Copies of this chain bind each other. A is one copy, B any other.
Amino acid sequence: MFLMNCWYVAAWSHELSSATVSRKLLNEPILLYRTTQGTPIAFLDRCPHRLVPLSAGTRVGDTIRCGYHGMVFAPDGRCQHIPGQDQIPDTARVVTYPVHEQYGLIWIWMGQNDLANRELIPAIPWASLDGWTASPGYTHIAADYRLLTDNLLDLSHETYIHGSTIGNSPEETIAAYPVKVSVDDGRVVSARRDMPNIAPPPMFAMLNQSSARIDRWQTAIWIAPSLNITDGGVRPARDESGETSSARVLHLLTPESDRSTHYFWAFCRNFRQQDDKLTEAITQAHRRTFDEDKHMLELQQLSLEQTGLAVPKVALRVDEAPLRARRILNQLIKHEAASPNYVLPKISRIFQTEPALHGEKANVKA
């Protein structure tokens, strides 16, 4: 159920200080640490001798010493020292994974090691880009990562789940605005919605310090298998020359297990960049917002497990983008299973167009 030959986010860069990080990724226990030079390293968190977690051991210089019998492993996974013997057998080696640090994130390749290519990390620099200020965070979700992809590709749920932060009221539900769905490179799904002259949701009113109506637009973007960006903006309603505030929100998902997900997120904005209080307020608001998603997705996961029904009985118009992404993901996983050396090519572009306002309200009986 996982695509293997691709890069996943293992951690935020700032998590890897002098401490090690132990984390399950795609059902494998992984130990992350940095060498004294700062290079990130990923081990299978199992000593090859007695299979205890190496995270119960000690970092000694650039090496990890197992906490049970004292075997010492170098960054390349080879055993450097075995207490009580000179000979070090070839099998005394811990499994390692390619890792690379980019955009303030530690990326890991869990598929075939020799296929790892840093050029394939999608260009999503906003959390570390000049001209943008990030409010980053992490949320653990006890649900299949694909349920969170469904959630992120159809933002009509904002009205019903996030009424106190980023959602409009049911009377002005954003589901009523038509969505334009497109697919690029066979693996990037975009769902754009324009909402001219709409009331600002509570968090937007807070950000703009005004409850005046706005022109709002947003594009939900999914990059197979599990990176997402919400690219959005607002402007005073019907004022094309008004000041535009833009945000690119990263939602980077890494499956922890078949039924749980690491959700790394960052709200990146290009306005009031030096306002640290605002940065913190956005972080708090998004933590609360994503906890609302967490609550619903974990209920959904339990329902699916109890009911044993993976396929819903009803598809709605708002499901178009999630369903297209699911189909693509299923095909990619199937393809990889048949051709284990297959690697997704580099994507050519993430954004189709620069933000612009064109669209109209759908003719919907409320």
A85 at the B interface (CB under 8 A): yes
Per the bound structure, the CA–CA distance linking A25 and B364 in Å amounts to: 38
Closest to A309 in B: B51
| Residue A161 is within 8 A (CB to CB) of chain B in the complex | yes
Q: Which residues of B contact A316 (CB under 8 A)?
A: 49, 69, 71, 82, 84-85
Does A150 reach chain B (CB closer than 8 Å)?
yes
Q: Which of A103-111, A197-205, A262-270, A299-307 contacts B (4 or more CB under 8 A)?
A: A299-307
A51 touches B312 (CB 8 A): yes
Which B residues are CB-close (under 8 A) to A131?
none
Q: Does A318 sit within 8 A of B, measured CB to CB?
A: yes
B303 lies within 8 A of A84 (CB): no
Q: Which residues of B contact A354 (CB under 8 A)?
A: none
Q: How far is the CB of A92 from chain B (nearest CB, A)?
A: 5
Within 8 A of B (CB), among A156-171: 156-157, 159-161, 170
Answer whether residue A314 sits at the interface, using C-beta atoms and an 8 A cutoff: yes
A52 proximity list for chain B (CB < 8 A) = 296, 299-300, 303
Answer whether A312 and B365 are a contact pair too, CB < 8 Å, given A29-B306, A70-B175, A83-B159: no
B176 touches A69 (CB 8 A): no
Interfacial chain B residues near A365, Cβ < 8 Å: 86
Complex contact A312–B49 (CB within 8 A): yes
What CA separation (Å) do A218 and B318 show in the bound complex? 63
Q: How far is the CA of A84 from the CA of B318 in the complex (A)?
A: 7
Q: Given the complex of chains A and B, what is the CA–CA distance between A22 and B66 in angstroms?
A: 38
Q: Does A65 sit at the interface, judged by CB under 8 A?
A: yes
| A:313-366 near B, CB below 8 Å | 313-314, 316-318, 362-366
**A48 at interface by CB-CB < 8 Å:** yes
A187 to chain B: which residues have CB within 8 Å? none
Whole-angstrom distance from the CB of A149 to the nearest CB of chain B? Answer: 13
Assess whether A362 is in contact with B299, with CB atoms less than 8 Å apart: no
Q: Are B156 and A70 in contact (CB under 8 A)?
A: yes
CA–CA, A366 and B83, complex, Å:
7
Measured CA separation A365–B51 after assembly (Å): 25
- 21 CB-based A-B contacts, threshold 8 Å: A29-B306, A48-B312, A48-B313, A49-B312, A49-B316, A51-B304, A52-B296, A56-B295, A66-B160, A67-B161, A68-B296, A69-B157, A69-B160, A69-B175, A83-B170, A84-B173, A84-B176, A85-B317, A86-B363, A91-B313, A92-B314
